[in-house]
Amino acid sequence: MNETVHDENVGKWTMVIDLDQCTGCQACVTACSMENNVAFVGEADAAYGRGMHWIRVVREWNGEMPDLTADFRPVMCQQCGEAPCEPVCPVFASTKSVPEQINLQVYNRCIGTRYCGNNCPYIARTFNWFDYERPEPLNFQLNPDVTVRSRGVMEKCTFCVQRIRRGEEDANAEGRPVHDGDVTPACAQACPAQAITFGDITDPESRVAKLARSARAERFLEEVGTEPRVIYLKGNGKVVREG
Ligand code: SF4
What is the tens place of the pLDDT at every residue in 101-121?
A: 999 999 999 999 999 999 999
* Beta partners for residue 60, in sequence order: 71
pTM of this structure: 0.92
Query: What whole-number distance in Å separates Cα of residue 21 and Cα of residue 176?
Result: 33
pLDDT band of 242, cuts 50, 70, 90: low
Q: Between residues 83 and 236, which one has the greater pLDDT? A: 83
**What 3-state DSSP class applies to 120?**
coil
pLDDT at position 148 over 70: yes
Query: What whole-number distance in Å separates Cα of residue 128 and Cα of residue 112?
Result: 9
pLDDT band of 171, cuts 50, 70, 90: very high
pLDDT at position 52 over 80: yes
Q: Between residues 98 and 161, which one has the greater pLDDT? A: 161
Atom 4, ligand 1: which residue's CA is nearest?
A: 25
Domains defined for the chain, CATH in brackets = 8-239 (3.30.70.20)
Nearest to 209 by CA among 17, 16, 11, 8: 16
**What 3-state DSSP class applies to 24?**
coil
pLDDT at position 189 over 80: yes
Query: What whole-number distance in Å separates Cα of residue 230 and Cα of residue 103?
Result: 12
Q: Report which ligand 1 atom has the smallest distance to the Cα of 23.
A: 3
Provide, rounded to the nearest whole percent, the portion of the chain with pLDDT above 70.
Answer: 94
CB 50 within 8 A of CB 129: yes
Query: What whole-number distance in Å separates Cα of residue 203 and Cα of residue 135?
Result: 44
Atom 8, ligand 1: which residue's CA is nearest?
A: 22
Q: State the pLDDT at residue 5.
A: 43
Q: Report which ligand 1 atom has the smallest distance to the Cα of 196.
A: 7
Integer angstrom CA distances of residue 182 from 64, 151, 185, 200: 43, 34, 10, 10
* 53-66: pLDDT as tens digits: 999 999 999 888 88
- Give the distance (Å) from ligand 1 centre to CA of residue 91: 35
User: Is the Cβ atom of 88 under 6 angstroms away from ligand 1?
Assistant: no
- Give the distance (Å) from ligand 1 centre to CA of residue 103: 23
pLDDT at position 2 over 60: no
